[in-house]
Amino acid sequence: MLRFLTRRTLGAVITLVIISAVTFFLFFAVPADPARLACGKVCPPELLAQARHNLGLDQPLFAQFTAWLAGIFAGRDYGGLGHCPAPCLGYSFVNQAPVFETILDRLPVTVSLTIGAAVVFLTFGVATGIVAALNQGRPLDKIVSVSSLIGFSLQIYFVGTLALYFLVYQNQILARPQYRPFTEDPLAWAAGLVLPWVVLSIIFTANYTRMTRSTMVEQLGEDYVRTARAKGMTGRSVTLRFALRGTLTTVVTIFGVDLGALIGGAIITETTFGLQGLGRLSINAVTDSDLPVLMATVLVAAGAIIVFNIIVDALYAFIDPRVRLS
Amino acid sequence: MTIPAPAVADHSGTPAPKDPETPETVGRSPGQLMWLRFRRDRTGMASAAIVLFFLMVAALAPVISTIYGKDPYTLYGQDVPGLLNEYGYPVLPNGGISSEFWFGIEPNLGRDVFMQLVYGIRTSLLIAAAATVLVTAIGIVMGIVAGYAGGRTDYAIGRLIDITLSFPATLFIIAFMPVVENIFVSPDEETPVWLRAVTLIIMLTAFQWAGIARILRGQVLSLREREFVEAARVTGASPARIVFKELLPNLWTPILIQATLLLPALVTAEAALSFLGVGMIEPIPDWGRMFLRGTQVYQNDITYLMFPGIALVIFVIAFNLLGDSVRDAFDPKIKR
């Protein structure tokens, strides 16, 4: 286990450095001068040069990248701007704030959105999948299959906007989606996010239903399930202890992928509902050519995908005793 | 070599009470068997018909335009007074649907929605189809090379796949669009449409090939150890022969299934990018751009959003159903 984690963490760090490097060098093709932003509108050439020097922009590109990388672990000093402590992801002149603070500020929105929706679509998706598998071929199965196919083919920007129109603007059944911190007022937090949760769940549940159903059907035909039945175990314990356990591997895999993708930035969802999470932050960073923020959001998004990948692989061993970590 | 198909196609179990003089045992190729199974699948045939309908509409867009008497570019609402009110919204209810404008008029610009939709399929499908072909081609090459060559080549391609799959693709494409424009277009020029389309296709391809390559690599790894490949190698077949004559024929099933599922995924991906403002640009009709406009005006004119929305849902459902049916027809052993 320890060897597995060490090896995968090392691999993850290397992947992240490569992804950061690709992003960093690509985006230097965009002519946006952070020094000019730092200096202000009326900027004499000497001051501009000073600002460039303070930000390290007069260094060669590669040195700038290594400085950025080192800043994450050791912090960084910006002459005239002060010190940026250890996980330093740079300083954004568009937001007039250290990037790490902005990320921390926006992360709760995206995490709240993801966790709330994930709870709903995971439980509901797996439950409907099991019900469909146990009723294979019957009308209930057909209904579940057809509705999950429709759900699977829906788009957030279409369903979300329809929901906004009919539930918020036309009939005022729900409040306009907004983010209120959980610690301030849990009720307002839930009320503000319930619509995005429901819409995200409609779309994501379908995939879990389909996957759970098909894997469960397969599992119910496995030898060990037959053996368990032959031993005289009841239907319920065969389903729950054997078939469901085998199904979990598939569910955990897609759950890991989905969580990684959502935490990394539910860009479309946040755009549709006007929530200011990481996804919106990254889009704004592109529009404002705010390289430090963009680098940070790419790093967080890639990091989320990779971390959840490792968690999923580690979970396999717990779920399926036949899997050995290597 | 393809794994030999069973000579008897009809495995429904009922003994055929046919004329005893005509023997029923006919040898059929796997392709024929697949087609037979597919034809019996009513859902599959229906979804194939819908998909075909969409393709026909895309192909015949100019003909439809001539018959309908309008084009997707003319600003009818601005040219003809009385169609749009002073706020730029259609005067008639339901987005200005009338016998003249079947699906209504676009708010502000006043273009014909029906024509936008018909020509929009073209853009979306062309981009998605081009990307699907590229993704499949690259996926096949990378998957087979990794699986067949093994060793260091496999390791290198495997890591490349891992890194590609770890990229936050949507975010990266959004961020990359301005970069491309900066490199190829001077600030005082407008971005040419072909450049946007080509960039979209390349970017979609760059992040999608890894999935199909990973699947095919796994397939090749298991096929490589099979007896018929070993037999071919022992009899001195060249690697090229083994790849093209032994491995590839057995890979067409997963390839075709993946490609059928990839196309609708890419259509929605392209629409999503246009919705986020980095897809196709004016004045090219495009479904994603219609979504973007639709979400801007939905509080006053929900009808405009309904047409691309429903059209896309039908298209994606039909294509996903078709993908499922193709899979069933190719591989009847898979339980669904």
Do residue B336 and residue A150 have CB atoms under 8 angstroms apart?
no
pLDDT of residue A122: 93
pLDDT of residue A120: 92
Taking alpha carbons only, the member of B193, B212, B53 closest to residue B132 is: B212
pLDDT of residue B131: 95
Q: Residue B252 class from Cβ within 10 Å (0-12 exposed, 13-18 middle, 19+ buried)? A: middle
3-state secondary structure (DSSP) of residue A98? strand
Tell me phi and psi for residue B166, to 5 degrees. Answer: -85, -10
Helix (H) or strand (E) holding A76: strand A76-78
Neighbours of B233 (CB within 10 A): 15
In a domain, B318, yes or no: no
Helices assigned H by DSSP within A153-222 = 156-163, 186-220
Q: Which residues of chain A have pLDDT under 70?
A: 28-43, 51, 54-56, 78-82, 265, 323-326
Give the closest of B163, B171, B302 to A297, CB-based.
Answer: B171
**What is the extent of the structural domain holding B285?**
123-312
Angle in degrees, CA B114, A199, A142, rounded to 5: 85
The upper half-sphere exposure of residue A213, i.e. CA atoms within 13 Å in the direction of its Cβ, equals: 27
pLDDT of residue B299: 81
Please give the structure tokens belonging to residue B230: 């070993």
pLDDT of residue B21: 59
Structural domain count, chain B:
1
pLDDT values of chain B reduced to their tens digit, one per residue, 336 residues: 455 544 444 444 444 455 555 556 777 777 788 788 888 888 888 899 999 999 998 888 888 888 887 787 777 777 777 777 777 777 777 777 777 777 778 887 778 888 888 888 888 899 999 999 999 999 999 999 998 888 899 999 998 998 898 888 888 888 888 777 777 777 677 778 888 889 899 999 999 999 999 999 988 988 888 888 889 889 988 888 888 888 888 888 888 888 888 998 899 989 888 888 888 877 888 888 888 888 888 888 888 888 889 999 999 999 888 888 888 887 766 544
In a domain, B331, yes or no: no
Do residue A23 and residue B175 have CB atoms under 8 angstroms apart?
yes
Do residue A158 and residue B320 have CB atoms under 8 angstroms apart?
no
Do residue B167 and residue A19 have CB atoms under 8 angstroms apart?
yes
Do residue A154 and residue B313 have CB atoms under 8 angstroms apart?
yes
**Would you call A265 an interface residue with chain B, using a CB distance cutoff of 8 Å?**
yes
Tell me phi and psi for residue B90, to 5 degrees. Answer: -55, 140
Do residue B294 and residue A161 have CB atoms under 8 angstroms apart?
yes
In a domain, B110, yes or no: no
Give the closest of A29, A153, A165 to B317, CB-based.
Answer: A153
Residue in the structure block whose two tokens are 């060559």: B149
Do residue A282 and residue B275 have CB atoms under 8 angstroms apart?
no
**Would you call B295 an interface residue with chain A, using a CB distance cutoff of 8 Å?**
yes
B-contacting residues of A 155-194, CB under 8 Å?
A: 155, 157-158, 161-162, 164-165, 169
pLDDT in tens, A189-215: 888 888 999 999 988 998 899 889 888
- CATH number, position B233: 1.10.3720.10
**Would you call B186 an interface residue with chain A, using a CB distance cutoff of 8 Å?**
no
**Would you call A253 an interface residue with chain B, using a CB distance cutoff of 8 Å?**
no
Residues of B in contact with A15 (CB under 8 A): 162-163, 166
In a domain, B118, yes or no: no
b/e A106-126 (16+ beta carbons within 10 angstroms → b) = bebbbebbbbbbbebbbebbb
CA gap A238, A224 in Å, rounded: 10
pLDDT in tens, A181-190: 888 888 888 8
Could you give the C-alpha distances from B171 to A282, B270, B272, in angstroms and in order? 7, 13, 12
Q: Who contacts A182 (Cβ-Cβ below 8 Å, separation ≥6)?
A: A108, A112, A189
In a domain, B159, yes or no: yes
CA gap B86, A323 in Å, rounded: 68
Do residue A15 and residue B162 have CB atoms under 8 angstroms apart?
yes
CA gap A35, A17 in Å, rounded: 25
pLDDT of residue B127: 92
b/e B53-86 (16+ beta carbons within 10 angstroms → b) = ebeebbeebeebbeeeebbbeebbbeeeeebbee
Domains annotated on chain A, with CATH: 2-99 (no CATH), 100-323 (1.10.3720.10)
B114, B103 contact by CB (below 8 A): yes
In a domain, B226, yes or no: yes
Give the closest of B171, B182, B299 to A267, CB-based.
Answer: B171
The shortest C-alpha distance from A145 to chain B (Å) reads: 10
In a domain, B275, yes or no: yes
Q: Who contacts B312 (Cβ-Cβ below 8 Å, separation ≥6)?
A: A155, A158, B267, B268, B271, B287
In a domain, B37, yes or no: no
Do residue A155 and residue B302 have CB atoms under 8 angstroms apart?
no
ipTM, two decimals: 0.81
pLDDT in tens, A154-189: 888 899 889 888 888 888 787 788 888 888 888 888
pLDDT of residue B104: 79
pLDDT of residue B206: 92
